[in-house]
Structure 1
Amino acid sequence: MNMHPPNHEHTDRNMVKVEVNLDDTPGEWLGYVMDRLFASGANDVYYTPIYMKKNRPAVQLQLLCDKELLETMKEILLKETTTLGIRYYPLSVYRMERETRQVETKWGVVRVKQGLYNGELLKESPEYEDCRKLAEINQIPLKMVYQAVWSQLH
C-alpha cells in the first residue's frame, strides 16, 4: 500500500456560488464555457435543465469558486455566454481530509481516494481514469477493474 501525503484543504473555506440562466446560448458553447471556467480556477461547474418564462427550456449554469476568482468568472460568463446578468452568493464549504493510496490489481495499479473525518476513514473510491485506462489496455469491462479494487478495500 503506497500512501500519499494527506490533503489538508479540508478546512472550512469561504467560496462563492455563481449562477446564470441560459435560454439562448447554443449548446456547442456550453462545453467550451465549462472548460474555460475550470481552466480559470473554478472548483466545480455544472448545468441543470430548467424552464424559464413562457415555459422556455433552458439550462442553469452553476459554479463554485474562491472569492478571489469571482471577477474572473464573471468576465468569462459575460463574454462567452448570452447572459445579461449573474447571481452570486457567499458559500461556506467543508471538505473532508483526503489521502490517496495505491491498490495493485492483476492488470496494474489504481489510485484510490480516501476521505477522512476527524482522522477516521469514512470513504474510499477508485480513480475513474486509472480504472478506465486499465480496462481499455486490457480490453476488459470497466466494472471488472472496479470490482478488483473494491475487493481489496473491504
Structure 2
Amino acid sequence: MSSEVYSYLYEKILSEGALDVYTESIFMKKNRPAIKISVLCEVEDLEKFVDILILETSTFGVRYTKYNRAKIDREFREISTPYGNITVKLGYYKGSLIKVSPEYEQCKQMSKDNKVPIITIFNNINFFIQQEFKPNLLT
C-alpha cells in the first residue's frame, strides 16, 4: 500500500471519532515487513472503523480486541497568555489536580499567528500554567 494512504487514514479515522490511531513497523509471515494500523475506539464504533480499514486499505482482514481503560477526570479552562487566551486541560486523580497541559492545536495556531517557534509557545505557556496552577499540583 502506498505510504501516502497512511496520512489520509489518520485524518479520516480521527475525524470519524476514534480515540487515537497509530502505526507500527512489524514483520508478518515469511518475514515480510508490514505496517500495523491500530485504532482505539469505543465499542459502539467498532464496525465503522472495520469498514474504513477494509474499504480504504489493502488489508484482507481486521483483527480486534477489547481493552479496559482507566482515565483521570478532566476539566478545561481558559487562561490568558501574551499570545492570547488558550484552553488548558486539567487532569484530576483521586480528587487532586495532577496535570495541566495546553491544547496542541491552539499552540500550533499561536505559533503561526505570532511567527514564533512552537517550542517557545509551549515553554511560555507552561510557565503561565506553573504560575496559575502550581499550588494545586502534586510535586
Q: Which TM-score tier does this pair reach, normalised by the shorter chain?
A: 0.7 to 0.9
1:123 to 99, 105, 120: 99
Q: Give CA deviations for 1:14-68 in whole Å, capped at 9, x if unaligned.
A: xxxxxxxxxxx22122222222322333211111111223432211000111111
2:62 counterpart residue number: 86
Which protein is richer in strand relative to its size?
Answer: 1
Tell me how large the CA RMSD over aligned residues is.
1.6
Mapping for residues 132-143 of structure 1, pairs under 5 Å = 132-143=108-119
Which protein is richer in helix relative to its size?
Answer: 2
2:22 counterpart of 1:46:
yes
Mapping for residues 68-107 of structure 1, pairs under 5 Å = 68-107=44-83
> TM-score if structure 2 supplies the norm length?
0.83
Counterpart Cα distance in 2 of 1:90 and 1:132: 33
Counterpart Cα distance in 2 of 1:123 and 1:59: 33
| Contact 2:81–2:128, Cα closer than 8 Å, also in 1 | no
| Contact 1:45–1:62, Cα closer than 8 Å, also in 2 | yes
Counterpart Cα distance in 2 of 1:151 and 1:56: 48
> TM-score if structure 1 supplies the norm length?
0.75
After TM superposition, which residue ranges in structure 1, 4 or more long, deviate above 3 angstroms? none
Counterpart Cα distance in 2 of 1:129 and 1:84: 35
